[in-house]
Structure 1
């Protein structure tokens, strides 16, 4: 357990743990829980009672990445509940907000978006520019908003959490724990039942573009209805999920996984194990049906406003959008160089998994650096950002693997 020695004070409200002291090589309690990462943490709790059903290194400091946006959303929902803002209020876009790294909506300085559009951008796209704009709107500046976030987190019982920004982009002063994130998830669910439904939105339309939710658990794990994914190089692949079965709601947190697929599979296993522990039948693993209309109708009486279920594209187009697209950022003479290039591209894509593909060219081995498992819009945005940095990038479509753009 992380003691006070791991939480030295640094300026007001900020602390920087000694990683060498506080984050050692982690060996999980069982072969089931160990996923081979020194930054791995997990916890599963009963949402109704807060009882812990499983935890591994749940109090060790970790970088939250885009899970930070859960706190940004909590602050937004709180302002909505208290009628300090409304869903139709417009949020100004500053140069600071527009300058955020991808993933982003592509906001332009001097324009505006509504509070509801910003909420949907955070939940589906994990948009860093929308998060910064909301932070400035609610706090006057993003730095001040981060201080507000930290104060509110501590009041909620998140004693080991310090926020540095509204988005989760890398900040050496930004830390949390699996246990603190479970506390935050419980509060999002229990404090704002009429706004929590946003986490189930499968997609929304932004400037005539359909943006799909990054959270694969909504589509693959029966009963899952939110919350958030996250990734940075320092944090690894993070996930907070809530699921309901047999009238029992569980909240799971997985931090530091090696890939999106590993993270999702591990989360499903932890939730299955915990449901079984509570004598809730697991049942057959089938893809859940869309839940947005069910949630909205069940909570219509208490919801002050409701996002409309968006028309989905035709079946063929939907399958194309949901397929695994790939970007390729070059071929290299060594596997290490290819992996470094793929990791840099993965950071811009904010999704997908790194793949180094060995091939032989003119009898010499080379290694293709790729990021796989992307949605088409994410692949396009990543390649656009890489091309701006003079980095070659091609998009490879699924199945046919045609080159779609340079």
Structure 2
């Protein structure tokens, strides 16, 4: 009886940890509710193609690469499994741009908005079910506002369902050398099975900018206008830190505050990744410090 009771207690504890890991995203502006020191809970999960790994909630990682040569300039836990949050949308953008490059879509092609897409939680731009959004509008909304409703609309139009699109995203990740990344959705909304590393996110950011340089202005934009509303960029460093020209932010409670940033000064180019920041301010300060130290 004693052993059975212990086993039952362990099962309940494990379930509680899993539920904690699946919390819904907290709005990025609600920084006051975020602890100043990272939580150290971990979630065991399988990553497609290799042995199960353990992703640490709000685990800190950082990486600085010379964006021209790929040389590593600085690293802290760059290969440790982390939750990508909305850094995921770099791959959503990559897949969308690839569909345009192949001729399957043009920038003016309409994407249909389903009730499922329209019902996604913020951040969003307020898409209405039964309407359409152009590919260009979708790309700008993803790059600037990190809109979840748009991410799901893109996934459903390109692959028929978000689940099918996520499988394609993971396949593309493998082809790009992102060996420790698995996608299960197109947005980065909380899911303990969606995992990556700082190094993989740096590789993805570089691939996105190198393969599709014609869209570089999307990541530099400080705002995006849709349906009469102006949405401010989530990347706070644009226009504030000299040379910063993109790329993507991310936040869910499981991940902490993430940022992949690119910067260019005097012809020297960097890509800087910080994951698991304790607050938006702390994350931005660390990325800024790393840019100043290496440019």
Q: Distance in 1 between matches of 2:129 and 2:146?
A: 19
Of 135, 151, 162, 1:142 maps to 162
Q: How does 1:47-58 map to 2 (within 5 A)?
A: 47-58=67-78
What is the aligned-residue RMSD (CA, Å)? 1.9
The aligned counterpart of 2:136 is 116
Q: Distance in 2 between matches of 1:115 and 1:229?
A: 21
The aligned counterpart of 2:26 is none
Secondary structure of the residue aligned to 1:220 is coil
Larger radius of gyration: 1
Q: Distance in 1 between matches of 2:233 and 2:117?
A: 21
Residue 253, structure 1, aligned to residue 273, structure 2? yes
Q: Distance in 2 between matches of 1:212 and 1:122?
A: 12
The aligned counterpart of 1:80 is 100
The aligned counterpart of 1:131 is 151
The aligned counterpart of 2:263 is 243
Instruction: Give the TM-score taking structure 2 as reference length.
Output: 0.82
Residue 71, structure 1, aligned to residue 107, structure 2? no
CA separation of 1:78/1:88 partners in 2, compared to 1, >3 Å: closer, same or farther? same
Of 41, 52, 63, 1:43 maps to 63
Q: Is the 2:272–2:291 Cα contact (8 Å) retained in structure 1? A: yes
Residue 55 (structure 1) shift: 0.5
Residue 125 (structure 1) shift: 1.3
Q: Distance in 1 between matches of 2:136 and 2:209?
A: 18
Instruction: Give the TM-score taking structure 1 as reference length.
Output: 0.60
Of 53, 76, 96, 1:17 maps to 53
How many pairs are equivalent? 253
Residue 16 (structure 1) shift: 5.4
Q: How does 1:93-108 map to 2 (within 5 A)?
A: 93-108=113-128
Structure 2 residue ranges without an equivalent (≥5): 1-42
Q: Is the 1:47–1:251 Cα contact (8 Å) retained in structure 2? A: yes
The aligned counterpart of 1:201 is 221
Higher relative contact order (CA 8 A, sep 6+): 2
Residue 178, structure 1, aligned to residue 178, structure 2? no
Deviations 1:27-81 (A, max 9, x none): xxxxxxxxxx961000000111111000000000000000000000011111112
Deviations 1:160-188 (A, max 9, x none): 00001011000111000000000001111
Q: Is the 1:189–1:196 Cα contact (8 Å) retained in structure 2? A: yes
CA separation of 1:102/1:38 partners in 2, compared to 1, >3 Å: closer, same or farther? closer
Secondary structure of the residue aligned to 2:259 is strand
Q: How does 1:264-283 map to 2 (within 5 A)?
A: 264-275=284-295
Structure 1 segments (4+ residues) deviating >4 Å = 6-10, 12-16
Q: Is the 2:166–2:184 Cα contact (8 Å) retained in structure 1? A: yes
Q: Distance in 2 between matches of 1:93 and 1:141?
A: 12
